[in-house]
Amino acid sequence: MDFSGLFAALTTPFDAGGSFSPADFRHNLHRYNQTDLAGYVVLGSTGESVLLSFKETDLILATAKDAAAAQKKLLAGTGAESTAETIARTKRAAELGYHAALVKTPYYYKPVYKPEVYLTHYRAVADASPIPVLLYSVPQFTGVSLETPEIVALAEHPNILGMKDSSGVVQRIVEVVASARPSFQMLTGSASVVEPALSAGAVGAVLALASAFPEKCVALFQLHRQKMYEQARELQCKLALASKKVVSESGIAGVKFVMDLRGYRGGVPRMPLLPLTEGAKAAIAKVAANLEPAAAAKANP
């Protein structure tokens, strides 16, 4: 299965009462369906998965499956702290027709999570999963990181097909590409280093920023594919600055706000995440206008 290309990490829209809003979610997906995004990650970190109830996550998975265009790859975030719970969620995603499971590292008991723990956990999940498994390492949130030796060892498993690395550490991509079986697919989760990561051998990216700027993100991937490196580098620079301001500094509230600016259904995140201050909104609006002048104007007539 091919996971190359540019994936959007979907946000979860809430209605005025704070409940998941299927209508808003469908609205966003219908627009994304018209882009050249390779697919969607549902219930990733950007989707506020850790703030959702079990009931909500099931509805979100089902809604996304229903609303997504047939040719889009669907990746479900199914990583829980417990191995058994991770397997249960992965099976449910398979049942609903997802193409693969994106399995975040367990991370709470980090002082005892030695590499052996990750090897055992991921092998158990991959053995039990009816669909391919992608590793997912996101140290800025979890405080733990999958390192090259574990990744290379896990790449031997026939049902572990790749990895999303959100660390932004390009060195790890180089090392894994140099050491793992050639068909193992690396995706970066960092909008700041998509072009360097592709240069290093990554096959694609999963980006929160693509929920607001799918065309720009896809363009970066395509420029690289078409070997238009100078243009790719220029667009990468712009996306890096936008990502820093929107995603790194403001998190999900920033992503959702810039979605609102661009006519998607963003809204506000769930507490304890706080809505943006007016100052942060103004700074983000400026960044958005720089990145996509026409679109921003259209969204803010």
164 included as an active-site residue = yes
Nearer to a copy of itself, 94 or 194 (CB): 194
Query: Considering only residues 244-283, where is the footprint of a copy of itself by CB under 8 A?
Result: 244, 248, 250-253, 270-274
Contact by Cβ (8 Å): 68, 33: yes
Q: At its nearest, how many Å lie between a copy of itself and the CB of residue 68? A: 26
Q: At its nearest, how many Å lie between a copy of itself and the CB of residue 248? A: 7
Q: In this structure, what token pair is assigned to residue 158?
A: 């026939």
Of 72, 164, 216, 281, the active-site residue reads 164
Q: At its nearest, how many Å lie between a copy of itself and the CB of residue 189? A: 12
d(CA 247, CA 254): 6
d(CA 61, CA 270): 18
211 interacts with a copy of itself by CB under 8 A: no
Q: In this structure, what token pair is assigned to residue 92?
A: 């449910």
Cα 289–chain centre separation: 23
Nearer to a copy of itself, 246 or 295 (CB): 246
Q: How many of the other CB atoms lie within 10 Å of CB of 148?
A: 17
159 interacts with a copy of itself by CB under 8 A: no
Judged by phi (left if over 0) then psi (alpha if -120 to 50, else beta), residue 251 lies in left
What's the longest Cα–Cα distance across the chain? 56
Query: Mind telling me the catalytic residues?
Result: 164
Query: What residues make contact with a copy of itself under the rule CB under 8 A?
Result: 18, 45, 50-54, 81-85, 106, 108-113, 116-118, 120-121, 124, 140-143, 168-171, 174-175, 177-179, 190, 192-193, 195-197, 199-201, 227, 229, 233, 236-238, 240-241, 244, 248, 250-253, 270-274
